[in-house]
Amino acid sequence: MPNLIDLRRRIRSVKNTQQITSAMKMVSAAKLRRAQDRVIAARPYASLMRDMLGSILAQLPEGSPVLEHELLQRREEKKISILLVSGDKGLCGAFNSNVTRFATRFLSENPGTEITLECVGRRGRDFFRRKRVPINREWVNLFAKPIEFSQAKDIAADLMQSFRDGEADVVYLLHNEFKSALAQTVIFRRLLPIQPAESDESNTVDYIYEQPPETIFETLLPRYVETNIYQAMIESAAAEHAARMAAMDAATRNAGEMIDNLTLHLNRVRQAAITKELIEVVSGAGAAQ
């Protein structure tokens, strides 16, 4: 049975840990608010980009040379590249393990296919480096500051060049999507080749273009890839802050329960020690008589 000194030391240690987890929860809550605002502000732009591509696609005549654009060409999926977006830090519950688990399952389900990873975030890179999975490129420490569009643009340029050079027949995007402060969803979708959403004729907006649709379409294709990567990165950043806030809240509450249990145990041990001393005093007094 631990003595009183050990119990007091344990309680003091748990209280220090509780202060750390509580502080991390408040920091994540503050960062989540700003990250959530960025996600909400960016979603309409990404949605409008998809709608505009679909509208321009509907206006292009059959056999248009734009439809033969290199970023639209579908090939047999012999070489697959996955852009995996994870976090740079831990202590955020199952945030990182959700995407790594999904990627691991995808690798096991496609054993005969050449699959390489493009890792954004330290945790995903370290996990698959230990698994000895081929990692083509890596971008780490991007989430230390708010994500900039220029960072997504650089990543998109590398991926589009790999697709043009035939290093990858298809590029998939894997990341956590922010739903709420308590929920995140793993998203796995094709990034390249681009497949614009079909335009719904009942909801089609009649855009007036200053340039020919072919010119605009060719300009929008790279921007579409950049926007998708940027959207994935800010969604992942917001989801990470939400997951860490929830994890630290749970850790703080668990520490409080542990402190209560240890304090109760301390009181029982102290009471038992006092009772034992009283019995010894009374027994000694009785023996003296």
CA distance linking residue 40 with residue 99, whole number of Å: 22
CA distance linking residue 265 with residue 277, whole number of Å: 18
CA distance linking residue 130 with residue 110, whole number of Å: 20
* Closest-CA residue to 164 (of 136, 206, 192): 192
pLDDT of the residue at 1: 53
> Choosing from 7, 11, 53, 92, which is the catalytic residue?
92
Q: Give the number of C-alpha atoms closer than 13 A to the C-alpha of residue 289, restricted to the C-beta side.
A: 6
Global pTM reads 0.84
pLDDT of the residue at 277: 76
Residue pair 18/256 in contact by the 8 Å Cβ criterion: yes
CA distance linking residue 95 with residue 97, whole number of Å: 6
Which helix (DSSP H) or strand (DSSP E) does residue 163 occupy?
Answer: helix 149-164
Q: Which domains does the chain have, with CATH numbers?
A: 26-199+209-246 (3.40.1380.10)
Beta bridge partners, 192, equal 171
Which helix (DSSP H) or strand (DSSP E) does residue 190 occupy?
Answer: strand 183-192
- Pairing verdict, β 135-139 and 114-120: parallel
Mean pLDDT, consecutive 10-residue segments, the chain of 289 residues?
A: 80 93 92 90 84 73 71 85 92 91 92 89 93 90 90 92 89 91 88 71 60 73 90 93 93 93 88 79 69
Q: Give the contacts of 171 (CB within 8 A, at least 6 positions apart).
A: 80, 81, 82, 83, 118, 159, 162, 163, 190, 191, 192
Told to judge if 92 belongs to the known catalytic residues of this protein, a careful annotator would answer yes
Beta bridge partners, 137, equal 118
